[in-house]
Structure 1
Amino acid sequence: MLTPIVEDKVVVELKAVVKLEDAHLAQGKNYTVAYDFPRGLLINFGGRSLEYKLLFNPKYN
């Protein structure tokens, strides 16, 4: 699976589920930490309305 990176600044995780759950948040945060980016964005297109979460990397230098 390809994890999009926008302008070498933000990791973007796209989902199409009814509702975001803690596991989705953990996965997005793990990608942000693994790629060593300060921020990540989790976007869900599967619900009744667009749902998004801004994620922060606590280990970023």
Structure 2
Amino acid sequence: MITQKYLDELTYEVIGSAIEVHKFMGRGLLESVYHQCLVEELKHRNINFITEMKVPVIYK
């Protein structure tokens, strides 16, 4: 069962990962650069994730 405490800790780690990437890489780079760095940071912190999932979209 997923508890609120688990979600809070996970959120803290994910936001911390994003902050770490931004601190290290700085600003002004392409999104794809930050994406790849965040992938590496999440792996380093042993956070399981899925990236670039396909989402079905219906337009008009």
> Aligning the two structures, in what range does the TM-score lie when normalised by the shorter sequence?
0.3 to 0.5
Task: Indicate the structure whose relative CO is greater, using CA pairs within 8 Å and at least 6 residues apart.
Answer: 1
Larger Rg: 2
Say which structure is richer in helix.
Answer: 2
Say which structure is richer in strand.
Answer: 1
